[in-house]
Copies of this chain bind each other. A is one copy, B any other.
């Protein structure tokens, strides 16, 4: 087995975020549930966009944000995800390459447009998302180079990718390439509704293929259909293969769950929380960068919190300052 040449490769939805500010009443009027992600078709996306205030566009996508974070820490990262050969597709490809992530997935030359996520940021800094998956659903096994996956210490999978049925064979191929090379597989549960849609698949993955699990408190309780965090921690410690879960707890920080026990770590300090979009994605970035660089689990959690704190202090889901410089300056 050759030494890994990449820290992390991720498979995920390639999405451009369309960010606007909104009031709670705007969410209610549109039938949106605050803090969640809803999938919409192109007609509903157009209708929501037409009624939306002025917006800014910025590259997003959960696992893509995580890879941007790993690169921002100075790690080596690659991303696999599908755009169309349109203007938003060019924006996505430009931005992820501009932060140093390797991105070689060929854009679709026909079919639906590049995926968009309409993000409504309320004054309490929460984000409510509606996603039109568009071209992102076209990810297939031909987009996965097993040699690239085999070259990465960690293969990171976004739970959202279980939504488009076509993407599952790509995910299976990536898991098999990672396992075959003796690498680690990480999974993010993405969203409580996503967990509801794919609970059986996720449980099977955790038993058979996943080494590192990322979730927030709502997602992990939903996964095991329990009503307390303690029960969820117990449940994850009893699963098959998965020996490490990193659970984010919002302002309370995070918990690292292993067969040996549960270690809670506080959140990093933030002067003012502006927009929580990307908090979980960037926590995963810091944690994975820690793992890939040989940090202990407490350092991994703190590095995750450091990255999450940076991204929630401004609008948008990717770091504005190099995370490597924050790490050098102290925390994590």
Measured CB to CB, the residues of A under 8 A from B are 49-50, 52-59, 68, 86-88, 91, 94-95, 98-99, 113-114, 316, 318
Contact = CB atoms under 8 A, between A and B. Distances in A.
A138 to B, nearest CB: 17
Contacts of A113: 87
A52 B86 CA distance: 19
Contact of A94 (B50, B59, B86): B50
Contacts of A55: 91, 94-95, 98
A86 B316 CA distance: 24
Contact of A54 (B50, B57, B114, B318): B318
B49 A94 contact: yes
Nearest to A19: B56
Please tell me how many copies of the chain the complex holds. 2
A95 B54 contact: yes
A223 to B, nearest CB: 33
Given A57-B57, A57-B58, A58-B57, A52 B98 contact: yes
27 contacts: A49-B94, A50-B94, A52-B94, A52-B98, A53-B98, A53-B99, A54-B59, A54-B68, A54-B94, A54-B98, A54-B99, A54-B318, A55-B91, A55-B95, A55-B98, A56-B56, A56-B58, A56-B316, A57-B57, A57-B58, A57-B91, A86-B86, A86-B87, A87-B87, A87-B88, A87-B113, A87-B114
* 3 pairs of A and B residues whose beta carbons are closest in the complex: A57-B57, A87-B87, A54-B95
Contacts of A114: 87
Given A54-B318, A55-B98, A57-B91, 5 more contacts: A52-B94, A54-B95, A55-B95, A56-B316, A87-B87
Contacts of A52: 94, 98
Contacts of A58: 56-57
A53 B100 CA distance: 10
Nearest to A88: B87
A76 to B, nearest CB: 17
Nearest to A89: B87
Contacts of A318: 54
Nearest to A320: B21
Nearest to A94: B49
Considering residues A58, A99, A114, A318, which has the most beta carbons from chain B within 10 angstroms of its beta carbon? A58
A19 to B, nearest CB: 9
A3 to B, nearest CB: 30
